Amino acid sequence: MTESELKALVSLLDDEDREIIAHVEDKITSLGEDVIPFLESEWESNLNPLVQSRIEDLIHSLQFDILKEKLRKWFLEESDDLLKGMWLVASYQYPDLEFSKLKQDVEQLYYEAWLEFKPDGHPHDQIKILNSVLFNKLKFAANTKNFHSPSNSMINCVLESKKGNPISLCVIYLLVAQKLKLPIYGVNLPNLFILTYRDEAYKQFYINAFNRGLIFSREDIENYIGELRMTPQKIFFEPCKNTEIIKRSLRNLIQSFEKIGDHAKEEEVKELLKYITDENL
């Protein structure tokens, strides 16, 4: 389709006939991702608020469809890349976010930790060094004041503000730790996401990144589960898959949008969640 034909289509977006609008929107969205730059340019040059609003909706619809397909591909083929999964979660709010920028930011954190890290140190001492770098030097901290803010689930926002929720802080901790070759993994606890150090040479222990990397034991988890009056399950103690981390991040995002009353986004993220579940594939 030529640019003049596209412009003619966009000009019809101010029509009052819903059937015409629906036809135009279907025609434009059928063109896929390649039409987005044109729509963005048209939005900038158009002075009609109604047309601008409909262009915004079209761009969002296209970006949302693209994100669903990327999430499905990640789930099926790329789930070993946790950072990419978190990038896709953040892309819901920040569709222009570049993956390369996130990789650079994480590399910088790794470099800061590597400077002080002792590869031959005792695991507890290694964790203390990592805690010191992340929570003392770099000032990462729990976002207790705005716990339900959607930004807590967006890794780009957490890297910038240094404030996050349990799972986003754990993910950043995990990404740096694994670059340092530490056997650290995520653990799905009820109401709290934590990390575990699991290596045959040392007794397994756990790390709470939301509490500045506090080290604790299996017995502490058992006491925690007891206080919740829940039956202990294997998943409360063992490493979880990256897919479970991304699912939990999306569920947190659903709760955040529910808390602030943005039900349209709440429903959209619920739809995204379906794309990384086995039963939908």
Give the closest residue to 63 by CA, choosing from 55, 53, 52: 55
pLDDT above 90 as % of the chain: 77
Q: Bigger pLDDT: 34 or 248?
A: 248
Structure tokens at 138: 């770099």
pLDDT above 70 as % of the chain: 99
Check whether 280 has a pLDDT greater than 60.
no
pLDDT of residue 279: 57
- Report the sign of the C-alpha dihedral through residues 213, 218, 219, 225, in that order: positive
Phi, psi of 207 (to 5 degrees): -135, 130
Check whether 201 has a pLDDT greater than 90.
no
150 burial class (0-12, 13-18, 19+ CB within 10 angstroms)? Answer: buried
Residue 190 in contact with residue 178, Cβ under 8 Å?
Answer: no
Q: Report pLDDT digits (tens) over 163-187.
A: 999 999 999 999 999 999 999 999 9
Domain positions in the chain: 3-78, 82-280
Q: Mean pLDDT, the chain, as a whole number?
A: 93
| Average pLDDT estimate for 114-127 | 96
For 196, the 3-state DSSP assignment is strand
